Amino acid sequence: MAAGSFRRSIASQLSKVLDLPPENLIKSISAVPVSKKRHVADFQLSIASVIENSSSDCLAQDLHLQAQQLAERLKCDSVVSAISAGPGTVNFTINRELLAKTVLQQVWKDGSEYGVKSELFSTVPRQKAVIEFSSPNIAKKFHIGHLRSTIVGNFIANLKVALGHEVVRINYLGDWGMQFGLLGVGFQSFGNKEKLKSSPLQHLFEVYVQINKAAEDENTKKLAKDFFRKLEEHDEQTLSIWKQFRDLSIEEYIRIYKRLGVHFDEYSGESFYREKAQEVLKMLEDKGLLQKTTKGTGIVDLSEKKDLSTVSTVMRSDGTSLYITRQVSPSVLIATAIDRMNKHSWDTMIYVTDKSQSNHFQHLFQILKLMGYDWAERCQHVSFGLVQGMKTRRGEVIFLEDVLNEVRSRMLQNMTSTKTTKEIQDPLETAEKVGLAALIIQDFRGLLSSDYQFSWDRALQSRGDTGVFLQYTHARLHSLEQMHGNAELTDVNVACLQEPDAISVLQHLLRYDEVLYRSSQDLQPKHIVSYLLTLSHLAAVAHKTLPVKGSAPDLAQARLCLFHAARSVLANGMKLLGITPVTQM
């Protein structure tokens, strides 16, 4: 890794002066963010991170003085061309010829693995991760509320895979519960087999809306209860209807996931674990964790003082599993977690849902721990906020497919009205990919836990910090390479890349591994989004000031290599976020 070889060289010199092992210093040496206003060094060492007795109340002037003293004891060499002290930092500037040569060679050599081979990840063990995300309800159309879970879970899975971890992507479906009693009765009254086959989710949704109007009718209630009771009793005819609803729904979900560029290794659901949930209730009872209230409800006491100040209700008074969040009972989720550990022997399990379910998962993890499952500490809930104000031209959005169609149509309209748009082989597919990038970048720009106000105008802007701008930059750089051919790095003298705008791009490429590391630690995509937007802005400036056409052959080839490296890293980062880079637009 380019940044790695420079960090090691700086750490090696520092270790002799500070009498510390080089490996202890690696993570304290970071690439300096590019600044538009001034020339910056390439790396800096934070004094506070290496001085043993430094504390938060350590005076800034003391740190500055220590930085100056340390800088004076260090010497420039064939790698480092300048050393200076800043406010509590020692700054290192890399030999400019070496910077260009090393960075471009590394990007060229590592390709899609650039950044992930960094020594920053050398101490991170390769693990098996189970990630549960998306989780729509069967027989209901894919609600827009599931979009965030789908794209966030997909990002986390992509990142883990890129870093060498084994990932199992699970879609845990809402495929059981009383609503299937209603739906079964509704289908007998309002269903149409042809419509079910041609448009299952739409038709089942219409049936569900119609039967819900009659849901308060005593006869309808009785029929629905009877239908669900038959399901629970494994009545063949009733199960066959339910299975048809489930299978056709999954087929349509897979089609929608394909549009999103998302896939799953496993589709499971509550129906798989309904019987095991009763075993969990017995386990809780045997371990003395299940308590009964005066009303006969089953609870687990989660309070520290065992005073029932915090409880989780796991069983109805009639002895059946209680259905709460997403109509999934705690005992079913406990059974699911235990089964996944038995089946996959995972190192970490991540649930991706909205933040309203945070307490629910906290209770789940606490109960597992009380049951003696130490691995509960390796379960994690990644929560996200709500998207507000997402509307199509026809009004409030309910279904994801409506959003995908809307973003594609708006993007197509924008592309056809833009003078710079070239003849595109498949304009519809390009509009879909660019539109999806717009949705993802608007969603990932802030902290996942934040709610945000959706805006079509803001998302689809071609300039500024948007997914459209990332796609435009990628297509523009690809077009440049197509026009002038791919320069072979072995034949190119990249040492001539000395202009400030070229140096800025190279400096930014140096930071990629640190950004990946940061996102891998907190599972927030915003670090990568911010990095890619800056890279695109720097590449846009360099594209204007460093022309390939009309330059001396050596210089043109060197610049072509620089733009190739920028496009390669841009494409890598976009793919991690779940965006397919386009080559024309």
- pLDDT at position 21 is 92
Q: What pLDDT digit, counting tens, does each position of 242-261 carry?
A: 999 999 989 989 999 999 99
More confident residue, 29 or 490: 29
Q: Which positions are annotated as active-site residues?
A: 140, 143, 146
- pLDDT at position 325 is 36
What H or E segment, with its residue span, contains residue 103?
Answer: helix 96-110
Q: What pLDDT digit, counting tens, does each position of 160-204 carry?
A: 999 999 999 999 998 988 889 999 999 999 999 999 988 888 899
- pLDDT at position 411 is 92
Cα–Cα distance for residue pair 160/174, rounded to 1 Å:
26
Type of residue found at 159: L
pTM for this model (two decimals)? 0.93
The packing angle between helices 427-444 and 236-260, to 10°, is 90
Structural contact between residues 559 and 487, judged by C-beta atoms closer than 8 angstroms: no
Cα–Cα distance for residue pair 251/315, rounded to 1 Å:
33
Query: Over 80: is that where the pLDDT of 140 sits?
Result: no
Which of 343-352, 377-386, 389-398, 482-491 has the least mean pLDDT?
389-398
- The secondary structure of residue 520, as a DSSP letter, is H
Q: How many CB atoms lie within 10 A of CB 413?
A: 12
Structural contact between residues 151 and 578, judged by C-beta atoms closer than 8 angstroms: yes
Query: Over 90: is that where the pLDDT of 559 sits?
Result: yes
Length of the chain: 585
Which of 262-266, 422-426, 579-583 has the least mean pLDDT?
422-426
Q: What pLDDT digit, counting tens, does each position of 447-477 carry?
A: 999 998 888 888 888 888 999 999 999 999 9
Query: Over 50: is that where the pLDDT of 375 sits?
Result: yes
Exposed/middle/buried for residue 485 (C-beta within 10 Å: 0-12, 13-18, 19+):
exposed
Phi and psi angles of residue 529, each rounded to the nearest 5 degrees, phi first: -60, -50
Q: What pLDDT digit, counting tens, does each position of 506-543 carry?
A: 999 999 999 999 999 999 999 999 999 999 999 999 99
More confident residue, 24 or 316: 24
Dihedral, CA atoms, 120, 126, 128, 131, nearest 10 degrees? 10
DSSP 327-360: G--HHHHHHHHHHHHHHH--SEEEEEEEGGGHHH
Which is nearest to 70 in space by CA: 27, 28, 31? 28
Arithmetic mean of pLDDT over the chain: 90
Query: Over 70: is that where the pLDDT of 421 sits?
Result: no
Dihedral, CA atoms, 157, 160, 165, 171, nearest 10 degrees? -10
Q: What pLDDT digit, counting tens, does each position of 34-93 carry?
A: 987 677 899 999 998 887 644 445 566 688 899 999 999 999 999 999 999 998 999 999
Mean pLDDT computed over 561-569: 97
Cα–Cα distance for residue pair 257/150, rounded to 1 Å:
9
- pLDDT at position 323 is 45
Domains located in the chain, CATH noted: 3-94 (3.30.1360.70), 128-281+323-388 (3.40.50.620), 400-577 (1.10.730.10)
pLDDT band at 392 (very low <50, low <70, confident <90, very high): low
Cα–Cα distance for residue pair 410/432, rounded to 1 Å:
10
- pLDDT at position 18 is 92
